[in-house]
Amino acid sequence: MRGLVRAEWTKFRSVPVMPVLAGAVIAVSVLLGWLFAQASAAEYARATAADQAVFDPLQGGSRGVFIVQLLIAALGALVASTEYGSGTIRATVAAAGRRTRLVVAKAALVALTGLATGAAAVWGMFLVSQITLAMHGVPRVWLDDPDAVRLLLFGPVVLELVALFGLSLGILLRSTAAAVNTATAFLLLPMFAPIMPDFLGLTLSTWWPNTAAFRSLMPSESSLPIWMGMGVLAAFVAVMMVWARTRFRTRDV
């Protein structure tokens, strides 16, 4: 298993798009942290005293994470789908021997790279956004704030799980375009909650897997407990990975 993980890491480094995309996740996170902080500072300057009193600097500076999730899901999908595109998947399966071990090795690689990339992305976005707010004389939060600590500790885990979701789609769909497009549609579907019927709107805005996890990270009156929000996403990703492993074992590559 250790050898399989090392082999997956070698393939990850040798396919240029993968390290480039991992770097793009971090760079885009920092850029979005700065842009949304600039927008939040401008909104604060125009707001009434009542609105300024309830201003949330953490949520204002972290809105970019909803875009970053799309990139990290694509990163997870590429770990599986690029081998189908290049035709090397048959050689990989032959070398691995047992298909379940290969899926576990890919999942281990995505979990490690997703966690490291997610941590750099979340911390970079937080630091840049809060420094930007402070430079504009707008209230900000720092590392002594419990809500900030929750975001910095669990935000990378959420992105790690989203990357594993992308991996499961890459295994199931065997196409980069199909996996990335499906992941994007799934993760952005909660945006349509306001125009949905009541039950569907509530499901999308509260219990949709990625929405539930993000709601548990952001402080508000309607936030979910961290264990509940993270649990919904983790359970969903676990089901997707089991499905992907089952399909991978029972069909031709």
Q: Which band of pLDDT confidence, cut at 50, 70 and 90, is reported for residue 253? A: low
What pLDDT, on a 0 to 100 scale, did the predictor assign at position 97? 75
pLDDT tens-digit readout, 110-134 = 999 999 999 999 999 999 999 999 9
- Cα 231 to Cα 149: distance, rounded to the nearest angstrom: 19
Q: How far apart are CA 11 and CA 91, in angstroms?
A: 13
Burial track 52-80 (b if 16+ CB lie within 10 A, e otherwise): eeeeebbbbbbbbbbebbbbbbbbbbbbb
Q: Which two tokens stand for residue 91?
A: 């050689």
- The helix (H) or strand (E) run that includes residue 235 is helix 226-250
pTM for the model: 0.93
Residue 164 pLDDT grade (very low, low, confident, very high; cuts 50, 70, 90): very high
CB 214 within 8 A of CB 207: no
Report the distance separating Cα 118 and Cα 4, nearest Å: 23
Pair 78, 12: CB distance under 8 Å? no
Using only the alpha carbons of the chain, give its radius of gyration: 19
The SS3 of residue 147 is: helix
Find the mean pLDDT for residues 2-19: 86
Confidence of residue 242 (pLDDT cuts 50, 70, 90): very high
Question: Residue 126: how many CB atoms within 10 A of its CB?
Answer: 24
Mean local confidence (pLDDT), 32-58: 92
Q: Read off φ and ψ for residue 145, nearest 5 degrees.
A: -90, 125
Rounded Cα gap, residues 217 and 196, in angstroms: 24
How far apart, in whole angstroms, are the C-alpha atoms of residue 8 and residue 71?
20
Q: Are 147 and 49 in contact (CB under 8 A)?
A: no
**φ and ψ at 174, to 5 degrees?**
60, 30
| Cα–Cα distance, 161 to 158 (Å, whole number) | 5
- 222 compared with 178, residue with greater pLDDT: 178
Q: With contact defined as beta carbons under 8 Å apart, do 155 and 65 qualify?
A: yes
- Environment class of 150 (CB within 10 Å of its CB; exposed 0-12, middle 13-18, buried 19+): middle
